[in-house]
Amino acid sequence: MRPWPAVLTASVVALASVWGTAAAAPASVAATTSATVATTTTTTTTTSTGVADPASWWGTNGRVSDTLVSGDRVYLAGGFDYVGPTTGYGVPVDSGTGVRAAWPSIDGPVDAAIPDGAGGWYVAGRFKRVGTAYRPGAARVTAEGLVSAWNPRPGSPIRAMARTSAGVVLGGDFLSLAGVPATHLAAVDPDLGSIVTSWTAAPTNATVRALAAAGGAIYAGGDFTTVGDQPHSGLVRLDASTGATDPVFAGAASGAVQTVDVSPDGSVVYVGGTFTAVSGPSGQVPRSRLAAFTADGVPTSWAPAADGTVRALRVDPATGTVFVGGLFGTVSSVGRARLAAVTAAGAVTSFNALLAGCNTRHTTGYAHSNPPCSVEVAALQVRDGVLYVGGRFGRSGTTTRHDAAAFLTGTGALTAWNPTPGDRVNTLAVADDAARVYVGGEFTSVNGQVRQGVAALDMRTGQLDPTFSANTDNEVLDLALSTDGTRLFLAGSFLAVRGVSRPRLASVVASTGSVDGVFKPAVNNSVLSIGTARGWLFAGGQFTTVNGVTRRHVARLWGASGALSTTFVADTVGPTGVLRSGGMVQSLAVSSDAGRVYLGGPFTTVNGRTMPAGIAVVYGTNGALHPRQLGGVGRCSGAGPWITRLYLSPDDRRLYGGDVCPDNIYQWDAYNLSTTTRPTGLLWRTWCNGGMQGAFEVAGRFYYGTHGSSCAVAPGSSTRADRARFAAFSSSTGALVTGTAAFDSAMGVWSVSGVPGALVVGGDFTTVNGVLHQGVAVVPQ
């Protein structure tokens, strides 16, 4: 429960942090550097408190909105649908099973990969480091998992690569390699990555997105319309050994070419992209995102029509069948969502992968539900009768396949290959011996498990607890345990849990995640915050009815049955609009005796009485306003005043809150409330340049999760100190404390909870102190 988290007696034992620990490369290996590797066997070490070492903890593929600690379990809630080990953005996996091999962690997205011909791989993308080696944008990793000296250092991303007799040909956004001018196309030495000066391709005027080597030639596709000073729209053929433009090939497209492949005999060049027409020596012909050319660049009669972008295309060398993937829904008016097979004659085959379901990371525009997600196929490879598929999807038919799958080319049957990456796959490459498949993309984890909206980790190992599963169909925003600890309450924007209708508020068995068959209140809009005490469940949010009875934005239910309290009414009303929702309750906190409920949100009245500060204290028995209210809330022009997050200290003495603007942080006297000497109840007020999202108090410190980057060093001080998405304050004075962890991402930290000697932090981040770890992390107190 974000504003009302579980409380543990925290031991302030120093937690050994091992972020960034790496193994050194053997001295006998020339031109290599040390690399941190991820392996199939996970070794977990624990601290003296019994909590798993921070590096052992699994992460998620999306926002963690809340964390809750109970016994040895840490429950996670949010907008994710996957939990797994941190492996980096690209790894080779077994071509039969999908189990990952040892590999140095890559710290940013991988966009292209090819085998190096010696059991290793060339990889390119938007990363900085591979293992501990600084390799901005491109690297070569040997068969032994060591980062080689190959280091072309592109100035902007590489999008495609191909091996040729001249070296490794690169295409992309770049304008330079290692500081040497190179406009979108270049060949580099296969061992060191230096530019091959004898390979002199003319510069293109826009990005190169695809490369295919065949028969002494390189076919390049992309967004360009000229190569050198000559018109070549979307497609060009180059001499593989010199880079010279081949004037014989006249094929062109009316839009971007995003993928290219060549038939086994080299006689046909297949392309896919965004174009709606192609041309050759005799003029233009209509072609909807798929086309083929002869070796001279003449459009063939092959004309399947896709109704959306084609991003990947591969020819089966055994049959000549062309597999295509992208964002389309039909090919030649035949329903084929995102993946299809087309014969060499242009007919759509019966193959239908039935790809569906996906999850994508949050943006700032989707605070209370999962953002829209479109299924897509971005990468294809064919080898030895198997089609490997990567992109963003959740299943094939009724079988779970998270973002990667493989099918038999002959029958279309789904194979056992199941690497389970956590997010979009951008590139696939099959090793020369076909034993491994390199998988690269937007993910930070491979070989994890699907868990939608809620999951449980074992704090002793940091890994998923497989005995708990309570998948939801949309985001879970808040968690709370029942008074006896046997049931876990879920609140959010979901409509079902484990396929059972439970709109926006649910109870599951805490040990297994099984849906409580008795507790089933009907709530007509999102529940944003919940709290429990003395058997009661208090809920706040955007709803206006519960079980068909009017309850504007806050309600009390009996936790065992879900029955609505007939005596508790604390209706809130306020302005309409996305940020206000008619006066919703954004956050609530409940005293341990259920006697007081603290409400925060953009409401202006409670039970008809004006409440101008967006904060209210009501009695837990009947919802009536307490005679001593809290105040002192700031505002900005056009925003506020109201409180967006509340947190009550474990002893019920201190209430913390954060406002919508100017992002003040408040501590009120939760016991005495307002008094004659303290009319607003305010104990101290300070500031950060981002609002309160996560909150937790332990050992005299108040921890603050945010999307901001700096905070005042003390209440009333104009001096600021950098604090990247996370800060700590003295709970007694409000003074900023030094030594907290730093997190990345626009929206940062959403939740903080305590385990012995440490903190569990959840949010939108992908790194902690510069080290890769997505969604959830353990940091010292």
For 761-780, the pLDDT digits (tens) are 999 999 999 999 999 999 99
- How many percent of the chain have pLDDT more than 70? 94
Count Cβ atoms below 10 Å from residue 124 Cβ, excluding itself.
Answer: 29
pLDDT band at 10 (very low <50, low <70, confident <90, very high): very low
Q: Cα separations (Å) of 749 from 363, 726, 753? A: 14, 7, 12
Of 605, 604, 607, which Cα lies nearest the Cα of 624? 607
pLDDT band at 16 (very low <50, low <70, confident <90, very high): very low
Query: Which tokens in the block code for residue 514?
Result: 């099984």
Dist CA 537 CA 524 (whole Å):
17
pLDDT tens digits for range 334-343: 999 999 999 9
Three-state SS string over 63-79 comes to CEEEEEEECCEEEEEEC
Beta strands 32-33 and 147-148 are: antiparallel
Dist CA 131 CA 115 (whole Å):
19
- Would you state the pLDDT for residue 3? 39
Output Rg (C-alpha) for the chain, integer angstroms.
29
Indicate whether 18 pLDDT > 60: no
pLDDT band at 370 (very low <50, low <70, confident <90, very high): very high
Sequence-ordered list of residues with C-beta below 8 angstroms from that of 299, at least 6 positions apart, any chain: 251, 278, 279, 280, 285, 287, 291, 292, 293
Query: Which tokens in the block code for residue 693?
Result: 């999202």
What residue type is 74 in one-letter code? V
Q: What are phi and psi of 430, to 5 degrees?
A: -95, 135
Dist CA 274 CA 306 (whole Å):
10
Strands (E) across 554-693 are located at: 554-558, 572-573, 587-590, 596-600, 605-606, 609-610, 615-619, 643-648, 654-659, 664-669, 682-687
What residue type is 200 in one-letter code? T
Dist CA 573 CA 471 (whole Å):
33
Indicate whether 431 pLDDT > 50: yes
Indicate whether 23 pLDDT > 50: no
H helix or E strand, kind and range, residue 527? strand 527-533
Q: To which residue do tokens 């954004």 refer?
A: 586
- Would you state the pLDDT for residue 26? 28
- Average pLDDT on 61-68 reads 98
pLDDT tens digits for range 642-677: 999 999 999 999 999 999 999 999 999 999 999 999
Indicate whether 635 pLDDT > 90: yes
Indicate whether 309 pLDDT > 90: yes
- Would you state the pLDDT for residue 4? 32
Indicate whether 25 pLDDT > 60: no
- Would you state the pLDDT for residue 384? 97
So what CATH class is 53-84+450-780? mainly beta
pTM for this prediction: 0.92
Indicate whether 371 pLDDT > 80: yes
Dist CA 605 CA 602 (whole Å):
9
- Would you state the pLDDT for residue 5? 33
Of 326, 419, 341, which Cα lies nearest the Cα of 91? 419
DSSP string for 581-618 = TTT---EEEE-TTS-EEEEESS-SEETTEE-TTSEEEE
- Would you state the pLDDT for residue 46? 62
- Would you state the pLDDT for residue 102? 82
Of 532, 477, 485, which Cα lies nearest the Cα of 510? 485
DSSP string for 30-71 = TTEE-B-EE-SSPP--B-TTSPBPGGG--EESS-EEEEEEET
Q: What are phi and psi of 294, to 5 degrees?
A: -75, 175
pLDDT band at 27 (very low <50, low <70, confident <90, very high): very low
For the chain, the average pLDDT equals 94
- How many percent of the chain have pLDDT more than 90? 91
Of 235, 140, 186, which Cα lies nearest the Cα of 429? 140
Of 358, 357, 371, which Cα lies nearest the Cα of 63? 371
- Would you state the pLDDT for residue 14? 30
- Average pLDDT on 360-382 reads 91
Q: What are phi and psi of 55, to 5 degrees?
A: -70, -15
First-last CA distance in the chain: 20
- Would you state the pLDDT for residue 366? 72
Indicate whether 28 pLDDT > 70: no
- Average pLDDT on 308-327 reads 98
pLDDT band at 38 (very low <50, low <70, confident <90, very high): very low
Contact yes or no for 77/476 (Cβ under 8 A): yes
- Average pLDDT on 736-765 reads 96
